[in-house]
Amino acid sequence: MKKSTLIVMAVVVVLFLLSWVLKASALQPEQGSYILRGFLVTFAAFLTLAVMSFLYQDNPFYKFAEHLFVGVSAAFWMCMGFWTTIVQNLIPRLSTSLADYFMVPQRPEGLNLFFYTPVILGILLLMRLSPRGGWISRWPLAFIVGTTAGLNFIRYLRSDFIKQISSTFVPLLGTQWEGIGPFLSNLDLSASGQLVLLLSNWVVFLGVFTGLIYFFFSKEHKGAFGVGSRVGIWILMITFGASFGYTVMGRISLLVGRITFLFGTWLELI
C-alpha cells in the first residue's frame, strides 16, 4: 500500500473514533444505549461520506461501501421474503406443526397440498446455481413469464389502451359561450378560462394523435403524414423537457435529504 493511502486511512480512523466519542457523549443524557447509538450514527455518516467521495474519484472507501451495500441488501430481501411470504402464506398451507412453531394462524380451509407446486418450482429455480441441470430452471421461468403475461394482457389493454383512448375524446368546442370579449380576456387555468381549456383540449387530442403518428413506422413520414409526425416530435420534445425538469428536481431532493442527515442527525448543526 502507498504511504499516502495509509495516512488517509489513519486520518479517517481517527476522525471516526472522535465522532463516535463526541456523538456518544452528546446522546448520553437521553439514550440508554448511547455508545451503540453513537457508533451507528457515526457509521451511517461515514458511509454517506464514503459514497460521496466517489465524486472526487473511485477509492477504497467507496468500494467498501458499495460491497457492503450489495451484501446487506441481498440478505435483507431474502429475510423479508422468508418471513412475510414463505412463513405467512406458504407454511400454514403445508404444515400445521410448522405453522404453530412460527406462531402463524392455521388456514381455515386446512392444508392445501396443491401448494407444493410453488415449492417444487422454486427449488427448480435454484437449480440455476448448479453447473449442470440449470436448464430445468426454464420450468419455473416459464411459470413466471406466463403469470406476468397473463396478468398484464388484460390490465394493459384496459388501462393503458382502451381507457387512454377514451380519455382522449375531449370536447373540442367550448361549452359556455359568453361572447368574444370574455373568451379572449380570461386566460385562467380554472374552468372559467374557456380559451385555455379549449387550447388544452386541442393540444391533448392532436398531441396524442400526432405522437402516435410519429411512432408509426410502417408508413414513410411524407406529406400530411410527415407534417403529423413533425408535430408529434415537438409534442414529444416538450414531454421529454418536462420529464427532464422533474428528474433534476427529484435528484436534488435526494441530495437535500442526505445533507440534512449530515447536518442534522450527525453534526446537529440544525
Burial readout 238-264 (b: 16 or more C-beta within 10 A, e: otherwise): eeeeeeeeeeeeeeeeeeeeeeeeeee
Closest of 211, 201, 269, 212 to residue 238, by C-alpha: 211
Using CA atoms, how far apart are residues 63 and 5, in angstroms rounded to an integer?
14
Nearer to another protein, 24 or 65 (CB): 65
CB of residue 13 vs another protein: minimum separation in angstroms?
A: 16
Residue 1 as a binder of another protein (CB under 8 A): the answer is no
Q: Torsion angle, CA of 101/106/110/111, rounded to 10 degrees?
A: -40
CB of residue 11 vs another protein: minimum separation in angstroms?
A: 20
Using CB under 8 A, which of 10, 18, 21, 69 touches another protein? 69
- Binding flags for another protein, 146-185, as an x/- string (CB under 8 A): xxxxxxxxxxxxxxxx-xxxxxx----------------x
- Binding flags for another protein, 182-201, as an x/- string (CB under 8 A): ---xxxxx---x--x--xx-
Residue bearing cell 439514550: 31
Number of other CB atoms surrounding residue 61 within 10 Å: 19
Residue 70 as a binder of another protein (CB under 8 A): the answer is yes
CB of residue 226 vs another protein: minimum separation in angstroms?
A: 15
Residue 241 as a binder of another protein (CB under 8 A): the answer is yes
Using CB under 8 A, which of 7, 14, 18, 119 touches another protein? 119
Residues 198-237, interacting with another protein (CB under 8 A): 199-200, 203-208, 210-212, 214-215, 232-237
Closest of 143, 104, 108 to residue 123, by C-alpha: 143
